[in-house]
């Protein structure tokens, strides 16, 4: 049997020049990958990248446009006739622990042609712990169980270029948070799926997303935008009520809850962009896959 040809993988890395130690380690692990052809771009989000290895493209954005739009910019910079079969979105504080990590992700994708994206298991390099938010399904207690998934942990994920472009890329105006759900639902609505491959591990420090300024406002606003953009109209109130109740239970601080409700109100006022709701058949497929799109 002839071996499969090496895949060309377009890799998008964002930087704000705020990780002087982690960023070079991430790039070293990336450029050390074997059995794949890499085309790599570093997008400086409001900065000129301060670390650009030889052979790597760089794009400088004059202002910080947010993570999803920065990723779109990087993917677009590598688009065209020479574009890779896959796009790999790679956080600049992550590390590929083995030299064949990307090749194994590609092999998994080729074994599962129905999957538009392959999600590796993300683990803290010091503790080996995989946070619940990194496991892209509702029942996240067993991080080692593979299977079909309906969302993604977007910081390190392999996506087929053709599917990414058909879906229209990331929702750039989200700035931060929930953009992976938006893209996943759009891919599912195109008849595709996602696959979680926990046997392939990528290291990433276990940080708290609430450290970001505007966390509570953005997560609330973007939940509303996500519902308006992707859900059939009858499901929107169920989705928003479910998340409002969960948030009231989870957010202990009154001050943070007040900011969350301000973000919710901001989302309700509009700004979600193009509305392209999923079909009812997609709702049924997501439900059969274990995650009805109201949770």
Give the separation between CA 240 and CA 6, rounded to whole angstroms.
44
- Whether residues 17 and 156 fall in one domain: yes
Counted domains in the chain: 2
- Is there a domain that residue 29 lies in? yes
Give the separation between CA 78 and CA 136, rounded to whole angstroms.
27
- Whether residues 199 and 222 fall in one domain: no
- Whether residues 161 and 23 fall in one domain: yes
Give the separation between CA 167 and CA 69, rounded to whole angstroms.
14
Structural element, H or E, at residue 43 = strand 36-45
Nearest to 282, CA basis, from 271, 274, 292: 292
Among 160, 180, 207, where does a domain finish?
207
- Whether residues 255 and 202 fall in one domain: no
pLDDT in tens, the chain (295 residues): 445 678 999 999 999 999 999 999 999 999 999 999 999 999 999 999 999 999 999 999 999 999 999 999 999 999 998 999 999 999 999 999 999 999 999 999 999 999 999 999 999 999 999 999 999 988 777 999 999 999 999 999 999 999 999 999 999 999 999 999 999 999 999 999 999 999 999 999 998 787 777 999 999 999 999 999 999 999 999 999 999 999 999 998 999 999 999 999 999 999 999 999 999 999 999 999 999 999 8
- Is there a domain that residue 283 lies in? no
Among 185, 207, 229, where does a domain finish?
207
- Whether residues 221 and 200 fall in one domain: no
Count Cα neighbours of 197 within 13 Å in the Cβ-side half-sphere. Answer: 25
- Is there a domain that residue 290 lies in? no
Q: Which domain holds residue 254?
A: 213-278
- Whether residues 100 and 129 fall in one domain: yes
- Whether residues 222 and 199 fall in one domain: no
- Is there a domain that residue 140 lies in? yes
**Which three-class secondary structure string do you get for 208-244?**
CHHHCCCHHHHHHHHHHHHHHHHCCHHHHHHHHHHHH
- Whether residues 163 and 263 fall in one domain: no
Q: What is the largest CA-CA distance in the chain?
A: 63
Give the separation between CA 282 and CA 186, rounded to whole angstroms.
10
């Amino acid at each position: 049997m002839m071996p499969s040809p090496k895949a060309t993988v377009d890799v998008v890395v964002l930087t704000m020049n705020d990780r002087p130690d982690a960023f070079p380690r991430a790039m070293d692990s990336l450029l050390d990958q074997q059995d794949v052809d890499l085309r790599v771009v570093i997008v400086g989000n409001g900065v000129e990248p301060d670390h650009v290895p030889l052979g790597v493209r760089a794009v400088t954005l004059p202002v910080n446009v947010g993570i999803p739009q920065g990723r779109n910019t990087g993917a677009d910079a590598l688009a065209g006739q020479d574009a890779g079969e896959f796009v790999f979105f790679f956080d600049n504080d992550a590390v590929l622990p083995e030299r064949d990590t990307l090749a194994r992700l590609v092999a998994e994708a080729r074994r599962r042609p129905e999957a538009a994206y392959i999600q590796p298991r993300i683990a803290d390099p010091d503790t080996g712990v995989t946070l619940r938010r990194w496991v892209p399904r509702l029942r996240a207690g067993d991080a080692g169980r593979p299977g079909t998934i309906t969302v993604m942990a977007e910081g390190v994920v392999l996506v087929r270029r053709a599917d990414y472009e058909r879906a229209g890329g990331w929702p750039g105006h989200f700035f931060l948070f929930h953009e992976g759900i938006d893209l996943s639902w759009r891919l599912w609505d195109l008849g595709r799926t996602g696959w979680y491959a926990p046997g392939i591990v990528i290291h990433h420090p276990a940080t708290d997303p609430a450290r970001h300024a505007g966390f509570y406002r953005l997560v609330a606003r973007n939940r509303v935008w996500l519902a308006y953009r992707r859900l059939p109209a009858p499901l929107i109130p169920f989705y928003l009520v479910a998340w409002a109740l969960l948030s009231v239970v989870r957010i202990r601080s009154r001050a943070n809850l007040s900011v969350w409700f301000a973000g919710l109100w901001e989302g309700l006022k509009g700004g979600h962009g193009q509305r392209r709701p999923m079909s009812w058949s997609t709702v049924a497929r997501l439900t059969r896959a274990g995650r009805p799109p109201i949770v």
